[in-house]
């Protein structure tokens, strides 16, 4: 396998703040970014490859996370063309785009994967609410991207598949934790270890879709959701997301204390207005 370089691609992608147009570096990463006031829309944009993702895509996602204007509150992730994403670009297995690290230098491989994971982890930031608008296939890295978002709005033609184990890999783009939290350990094991495809109606039944809509209603459903999210107080939204995100790992005592701390912050904020 290759040396995990970017094969001449830029290491980072510069994004002018408040851009409303495609940026050269992002285009190369197969991404479009549109920022409209408090809403940023990130489009996976390699429809001819079913939005298959490369290292440049994941670095581009990380760069978007680092560069969003402060007023952005909601981020929508969507796919252009027939699929949300077909996962990793299979060309990476044959060395295209730098190739995968071979694991012979574990520390370098660890750093390399951690950098790619950054493309996914920022989607959990409390100051943002992230929404995956999923249609068509969401496979492997694409499924994990949807899992990294706070809320999934899913079209009735969606199909989820955690393909990695079938390819001799593990899901390593931060998808295993949310999958277990959402679907439970038994279902997560069954889905991953068979690499079977989950249709939209089952995805909704097992909690992978917060909302299931007809394919032609996806954009409208996302618009309605974004409107509702923006109608809620920004500070309260961030504080509540912080609370909900830590709830599963906390004891009741810890969580009650965290609620008190956040509420005191809210009360202080409200009284200062």
Is residue 57 near ligand CAA by the rule CB under 6 A? no
Binding-site size, ligand CAA (CB under 6 A): 21
Secondary structure (H, E, C), the chain: CCCCCCCCCCCCCCCCCCCCCCCHHHHHCCEEEEEECCEEEEEECCHHHCCCECHHHHHHHHHHHHHCCCCCCEEEEEECCCCCECCECHHHHHCHHHCCCCCCCHHHHHHHHHHHHHHHHHHHCCCCEEEEEECCEEECHHHHHHHHCCEEEEECCCEEECCHHHHCCCCCCCCHHHHHHHHCHHHHHHHHHHCCEEEHHHHHHCCCCCEEECHHHHHHHHHHHHHHHHCCCHHHHHHHHHHHHHHCCCCHHHHHHHHHHHHHHHHHHHHCC
Among 21, 108, 114, 169, binds ligand CAA (CB under 6 A): 169
Is residue 86 near ligand CAA by the rule CB under 6 A? yes
Nearest CB to ligand CAA, comparing residues 39 and 139: 139
Binding range to ligand CAA, per CB under 6 A, among 31-39, 47-55, 228-236, 238-246? 47-55
What separation, in Å, do the N-terminal and C-terminal C-alpha atoms of the chain show?
A: 58
Nearest CB to ligand CAA, comparing residues 172 and 202: 172
Among 15, 35, 65, 89, binds ligand CAA (CB under 6 A): 89
Binding range to ligand CAA, per CB under 6 A, among 137-145, 177-185, 240-248, 264-272? 137-145
Is residue 83 near ligand CAA by the rule CB under 6 A? yes
Is residue 82 near ligand CAA by the rule CB under 6 A? yes
Q: Binding string, 187-226, against ligand CAA, x = CB under 6 A?
A: ----------------------------------------
Is residue 123 near ligand CAA by the rule CB under 6 A? no
Among 13, 31, 76, 139, binds ligand CAA (CB under 6 A): 139
Among 16, 24, 69, 91, binds ligand CAA (CB under 6 A): 91
Taking the CB of residue 163, how many other CB atoms lie within 10 A of it?
21
Is residue 241 near ligand CAA by the rule CB under 6 A? no
Name the closest residue to ligand CAA (Cβ): 140
Token output for 25: 């570096």
Binding site for ligand CAA (CB under 6 A): 49-50, 52, 82-83, 86-91, 137, 139-141, 163-164, 167, 169, 172-173
């Amino acid at each position: 396998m290759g040396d995990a370089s970017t094969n001449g691609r830029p290491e980072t992608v510069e994004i002018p703040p408040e851009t409303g147009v495609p940026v050269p570096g992002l285009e190369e990463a197969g991404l479009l970014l549109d920022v409209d006031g408090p809403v940023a829309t990130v489009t996976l944009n390699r429809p001819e490859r079913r939005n298959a993702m490369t290292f440049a895509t994941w670095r581009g996602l990380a760069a978007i996370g680092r560069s969003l204007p402060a007023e952005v509150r909601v981020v929508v992730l969507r796919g252009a063309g027939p699929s949300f994403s077909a996962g990793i670009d299979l060309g990476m297995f044959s060395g295209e785009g730098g190739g995968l690290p071979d694991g012979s230098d574990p520390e370098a491989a660890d750093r390399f994967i951690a950098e790619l994971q950054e493309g996914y982890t920022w989607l959990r930031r409390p100051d943002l609410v992230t929404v995956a608008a999923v249609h068509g296939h969401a496979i492997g890295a694409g499924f994990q991207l949807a899992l990294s978002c706070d809320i999934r709005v899913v079209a009735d033609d969606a199909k989820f598949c955690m393909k990695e184990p079938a390819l001799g890999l593990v899901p390593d783009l931060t998808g295993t934790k949310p999958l277990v939290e959402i679907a439970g350990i038994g279902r997560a094991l069954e889905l991953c270890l068979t690499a079977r495809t989950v249709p939209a109606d089952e995805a909704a039944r097992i909690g992978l879709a917060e909302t299931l809509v007809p394919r032609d209603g996806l954009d409208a459903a996302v618009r309605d959701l974004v409107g509702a999210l923006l109608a809620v107080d920004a500070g309260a939204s961030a504080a509540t997301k912080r609370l909900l995100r830590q709830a599963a790992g906390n004891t009741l005592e810890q969580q009650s204390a965290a609620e008190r701390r956040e509420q005191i912050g809210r009360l202080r904020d409200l009284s200062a207005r």
